[in-house]
Amino acid sequence: MQPIISIRGLNKRYESGFHALKNVDLDIADGDIFALLGPNGAGKTTLISVICGIVNPSDGEVRVDGHDIISDYRGARERIGLVPQELTTDAFETVWATVSFSRGLFGKPKNPAHIEKVLKDLSLWDKRNDMLMTLSGGMKRRVMIAKALSHEPKILFLDEPTAGVDVELRRSMWEVVRSLREHGVTIILTTHYLEEAEQMADRIGVINAGEIILVEDKNELMSKLGEKRLTLQLEDTIERVPDTLARHELDLVDNGNALLYTYNANDKRTGINSLFRDLDSAGIRLRDVDTKQSSLEEIFVDLVKTPTPESTSGAQATAKDNA
Ligand SMILES: Nc1ncnc2c1ncn2[C@@H]1O[C@H](COP(=O)(O)OP(=O)(O)OP(=O)(O)O)[C@@H](O)[C@H]1O
Ligand SMILES: [Mg+2]
């Protein structure tokens, strides 16, 4: 299927010379919730800003539903709704006025029925005649979403939608996002929170220092996160792993003083029980054991360090698949 957003060889160098996006290739499928995950300064807002036409790319190509963001700026832009990271609202306007006005900015004819629906979907209907300055932070954020949806975009960008939002509101935002997806809107959100990506996303892209280092199906990524390492400190040094233990795929480390076993804690059978039985039969005595969960960060580090065929960026793999 044709991706709704397609990015090839995108680079952004700011005037300061800072290289904020490095050869980004990325496809986002129509109807997906895509979470862009990355630390502060990774380039999330820059990437979104380029797609939305707010920041000029240095080179590369971006297409939004087939429309080039530069040669067909209007075609691309009218398909997009953006809720920026920094909230800006006109304090003295009413909810209804600000949302209706936003629609007008896109040259769309008035459609009170649509505005009404958006406000109802976002539980803002009761507040429609209230001044923005009288709303709570969470309500203001929902007004920003209503504004972004006022011109019926196919794609909604949410830059850190739940930063500084309490747990309850965060959950209600997730509900809003899911219901938008059910209405066919493609959603791209940025977040620092792995939990948020886990709850919301169909696919997760990880960006670090301007590079997309991984794009993967959420479920696959989460199963990788279940990966654990069991370190077995040995009483006596061994030279090699005994053949009777071959099926456990152990690594001998620490100059023969420790064995390393990798397993997935989410699996029904981790193989730990049979491993211990076989160690005992092999006469290997343990001094200590230790388990460690691989964090998302470690997964990133591994991916960056040792590019294997399947990990040389899912982004490129999808790029080829869709070429
Ligand atoms: N106008 C600019 N001029 C120069 N450098 C910039 C500019 N805007 C952003 N940068 C730099 O580009 C990098 C990426 O910034 P960006 O805002 O895209 O990160 P981010 O992933 O959105 O971070 P955060 O999670 O903090 O929102 C940062 O190092 C930032 O300092
Ligand atoms: Mg940002």
What is the CATH classification number for the domain harbouring 233? 3.30.70
Q: 56 CB under 6 A from ligand 1?
A: no
Q: 16 CB under 6 A from ligand 1?
A: yes
User: Is the Cα dihedral 99, 100, 105, 106 positive or negative?
Assistant: positive
- Give the per-residue pLDDT at 285: 95
Do 245 and 217 sit in the same domain of this protein?
no
- The bound ligand whose nearest atom lies closest to the alpha carbon of 39 is 1
Average pLDDT of the chain?
A: 87
Q: 151 CB under 6 A from ligand 1?
A: no
Residue nearest to atom 18 of ligand 1 (CA): 43
Residue nearest to atom 1 of ligand 1 (CA): 14
Could you identify the atom of ligand 1 that is nearest to the CA of residue 85? 27
Q: 150 CB under 6 A from ligand 1?
A: no
Last residue of one domain, picked from the residues 223, 248, 263: 223
Do 162 and 254 sit in the same domain of this protein?
no
| Of 53 and 319, the one with more pLDDT | 53
Least confident of 38-47, 211-220, 293-302: 293-302
pLDDT tens-digit series, residues 44-76: 999 999 999 999 999 999 999 999 999 999 999
Of these ranges, 13-17, 169-173, 213-217, 292-296, the one predicted with the greatest mean pLDDT is 13-17
Do 191 and 237 sit in the same domain of this protein?
no
Could you identify the atom of ligand 1 that is nearest to the CA of residue 192? 25
Q: 205 CB under 6 A from ligand 1?
A: no
- Give the per-residue pLDDT at 282: 95
Last residue of one domain, picked from the residues 172, 199, 223: 223
Flag whether pLDDT at 35 surpasses 70.
yes
> If 0-12 CB within 10 Å is exposed, 13-18 middle and 19+ buried, where does residue 297 land?
exposed
Could you identify the atom of ligand 1 that is nearest to the CA of residue 47? 18
Do 162 and 189 sit in the same domain of this protein?
yes
- Give the per-residue pLDDT at 158: 93
Q: Is residue 38 part of a domain?
A: yes
Pocket test for ligand 1, best of 11, 14, 189 (most atoms within 8 A of CB): 14
Query: Based on the structure, what is the number of domains in the chain?
Result: 2
Do 46 and 176 sit in the same domain of this protein?
yes
Q: Is residue 146 part of a domain?
A: no
Q: Is residue 119 part of a domain?
A: no
Residue nearest to atom 30 of ligand 1 (CA): 41
Confidence of residue 154 (pLDDT cuts 50, 70, 90): very high
- Give the per-residue pLDDT at 261: 95
Percent with pLDDT over 90 in the chain: 61
Do 237 and 289 sit in the same domain of this protein?
yes
- Give the per-residue pLDDT at 300: 57
Residue nearest to atom 6 of ligand 1 (CA): 14
Flag whether pLDDT at 32 surpasses 70.
yes
Do 65 and 41 sit in the same domain of this protein?
yes
Least confident of 81-85, 129-133, 236-240, 310-314: 310-314
Distance 227 CA to ligand 1 centre (A): 32
Do 20 and 72 sit in the same domain of this protein?
yes
Q: Is residue 142 part of a domain?
A: no
Nearest to 232 by CA among 249, 257, 255, 269: 257
Do 162 and 285 sit in the same domain of this protein?
no
Nearest to 53 by CA among 114, 109, 106: 106
Torsion of CA 201, 53, 316, 30, to 10 degrees: 50
Do 194 and 232 sit in the same domain of this protein?
no
Least confident of 35-49, 76-90, 233-247: 76-90
Average of pLDDT values for 27-51? 94
- The bound ligand whose nearest atom lies closest to the alpha carbon of 38 is 1
- Give the per-residue pLDDT at 161: 84
The domain in which residue 58 lies consists of 5-79+154-223
Do 218 and 237 sit in the same domain of this protein?
no
Distance 307 CA to ligand 2 centre (A): 27
Residue nearest to atom 2 of ligand 1 (CA): 14
What is the CATH classification number for the domain harbouring 187? 3.40.50.300
Identify the bridge partners of residue 203 per DSSP, sorted by sequence position: 34, 217
pLDDT tens-digit series, residues 251-276: 999 999 999 999 988 788 899 999 99
Q: 206 CB under 6 A from ligand 1?
A: no
Do 175 and 162 sit in the same domain of this protein?
yes
Least confident of 40-54, 69-83, 128-142, 228-242: 128-142
Flag whether pLDDT at 320 surpasses 50.
no
Tell me the C-alpha distance between 45 and 159, whole Å.
Answer: 7
Q: Is residue 174 part of a domain?
A: yes
Flag whether pLDDT at 146 surpasses 60.
yes
Q: Is residue 55 part of a domain?
A: yes
Q: Is residue 90 part of a domain?
A: no
Q: Is residue 315 part of a domain?
A: no
The answer to whether the beta carbons of residues 130 and 55 sit under 8 Å apart is no
